[in-house]
Amino acid sequence: MTSTSLPISTSQREMTIRGLILGALITVVFTASNIYLGLKIGLTVASSIPAAVISMSVLRMMGGATILENNLVQTQASAAGTLSCVFISFPCLVMIGYWQHFPYLETMLLSMVGGMTGVLFTVPLRRAMVTHSSLPYPEGVAAAEILKAGSETGDPDSLKALLTGGLMSAVVTLATDGLRLLADGAAMTATWGGAVFRASTGFSLALLGAGYLVGIAGGIAMLLGAVIAWGVAVPILSTILPNPSHLAPADFATALWAQKVRFMGAGTISIAAIWTLAMLARPVAAGIRDMLRAGATIGDAGDDRDLAPRTLGLLAGALLLVLFGLFVAFQVPAATNGHAIITAALAAVAFCALFGFLVAAACGYMAGIVGSSSSPLSGIAIIATVMIASFLLLLEGLGLLPAEMSANGHHLAIAFALFLLSAIVASTAISNDNLQDLKTGQLVGASPWRQQAALLVGCASGAIVIPPVLELLYQAYGFVGAMPRPGMDASHALAAPQPALLVTLTTGIFLHQLDWTMILLGVGLGAVLIATDLLLRRRGGALPPLAVGIGLYLPPAVSVTLAIGAVLGWACTRRATQGGRSAHAETGTGTMLASGFIVGESLTGVLLAAIAGATGRDDTLSVLPAEAGMVPGLLGFGVFVAICIWFGRSIRRG
């Protein structure tokens, strides 16, 4: 498919008050849903396409909508939805006991400033990586095609499918997590000799939809990761390792996975991310060189201009100053040496600026080649964690950190590393997404500086929503291993897989307690998977090593349910699309229903969290007695199977 750019228009309205308000409202929806989904399963979904569909439908009803106005709405919503990736890092501070809740001002400011720096880092890269680049930007091109099609013919059925999926998912989530009429999954444990085998699946419609959007290659890869974890690694480890606490087989298998096998996943993810960065090293260097050569043209007159250099400089200075203040304020309650506090804060700001820009360039190329959703953000977060911890240990060895950083098992140093990581994650997530949006803008004739302004607004509006959503979910459900109150039902705690992994890595580096054997096994597995992927790609297939690593460290019910959604989508669409989905199919029935499943379950989960927070109980709406036995499981399974059948038929009809 070839896509051509529309001429930049000066007559069509683009940045409007109603568009900014609509973008902010969509922001609230997708930021909240992505945080919930991320803490529950460790994945988020791109919000650009659903946001574009909603924008086109709403603005068409209001009258006078233009393609440029719709583009700016989806740009703003996309930035805010992407910023929700800070769910990877902020919960770490609660898990280590440094925070007892999510302080609003610190969480909001660090999210906003980190995201805005990601925008600024990629502004000088736009000409080299978007305008004068042959990178395909698959998601950006698809979004542009959707906007063009929507502006010409419209598709009210897309919005109807989105609302239908959302309503259905909301009802099922209410029956599952609220009324407790339906179970949220099923598991089976078996032993053979000393080996423990455990299989499980979930009944979540959000996971079903996410699997459809991930696609067959990613879904099968994550399923393979789950099979390696629970069908190979856990049985072997349960045979050779003792069970001194005499845990039940299911509990022993879960403990082995959490304490051993997930480190294999960390190793696999790390080597996959490093491989991706290594493959992109040459084009990234060329892009930076071209950017520096083209630097004199940035801010030129005309509609193709970026934000002016003076504006960029003032914004960058202000953002770095706020970062410095946040890093100082974080240390002040626990540290007393003012000189060391300032030195540590300055070093942290310098790390954010240098590492952030390099990652922005790398993520821009990764997004340009494989798309934003396929970029290894989790792997980059792991690499950043190792680099930050090593950097702080170096400063400690040079005597440049407050003495309190080394006290109490390096508790303050670990917390400071995770706080710094949150700024890096926000910057990385945004830089991974906004070049894709700028590519969309180029293809529909948008003004780059207006898009960049909308991205900054999206970061601000998303940051406002993030702290209360995090606090609400934590107080209502808790995180695995970190419950806010005694007596809560741990089975409903949010898994928060990435935060748990990053806490273990950071603590292990500072205390020299990392299980390097399992990490190195994961690295070796990752090397084999990389070689396998290269061979498959020569034959038109793929086995993403990063997705296999994710399958290793995600709870098995998550990986299996995602795989069900991926296989279901592949089976129902392969004939209609001759083996590949077109850009126009991104607004089709399957994509909109899947997006609706995710949004409906996520927003209902947030609503139930609000009810639990108000009442102080997470079973306020429960109607079944504790002795209901297998009834919820059977009902949950039946409802899930029925919806899968209906979903498949809807995809085929669509």
> Which of 63, 100, 79 shows the shortest CA–CA distance to 30?
79
In a domain, 9, yes or no: no
In a domain, 168, yes or no: yes
CA 550 to chain centre: 12
The b/e string for 228-266 (b: 16+ C-beta within 10 A; e otherwise) is bbbeebbbebbeeeeeeeeeebbebbbbbbbebbbbbbb
Mean pLDDT, residues 549-554: 81
Going by the DSSP 8-state scheme, the letter that residue 4 receives in this structure is -
In a domain, 5, yes or no: no
> Which of 346, 555, 467, 633 shows the shortest CA–CA distance to 83?
467
Beta bridge partners of 587: none
- DSSP letters for 601-628: HHHHHHHHHHHHHHHT-S-TT--S-GGG
73, amino acid identity? V
> pLDDT tens across 346-401, in order?
999 999 888 877 776 666 666 665 555 555 577 778 888 888 999 999 999 888 88
In a domain, 455, yes or no: yes
What's the longest Cα–Cα distance across the chain? 75
How many distinct structural domains can be found in the chain? 1
Return the half-sphere exposure (C-beta side, CA atoms, 13 A cut-off) of residue 571: 15
d(Cα 473, Cα 471) in Å, to the nearest integer?
6
> Is the CB of residue 47 less than 8 Å from the CB of residue 77?
yes
> What pTM was computed for the model?
0.74
The b/e string for 419-432 (b: 16+ C-beta within 10 A; e otherwise) is bbbbbbbbbbbbbb
In a domain, 577, yes or no: yes
> pLDDT tens across 117-164, in order?
988 887 877 776 677 666 667 567 666 766 776 665 445 676 688 788
In a domain, 648, yes or no: yes
> Is the CB of residue 556 less than 8 Å from the CB of residue 198?
yes
The pair phi, psi for residue 155, each rounded to 5°, is: -155, 80
d(Cα 191, Cα 522) in Å, to the nearest integer?
25
> pLDDT tens across 471-523, in order?
988 988 888 878 888 878 777 788 888 888 889 889 989 988 877 888 899 99
What domain range includes position 156? 17-653
In a domain, 275, yes or no: yes
> Can you give the pLDDT at residue 16?
81
Q: Which of 8-12, 29-33, 107-111: highest mean pLDDT?
A: 107-111
Q: Which helix (H) or strand (E) holds 259?
A: none
> Is the CB of residue 385 less than 8 Å from the CB of residue 502?
yes
> Is the CB of residue 537 less than 8 Å from the CB of residue 203?
no
463: three-class secondary structure by DSSP: helix
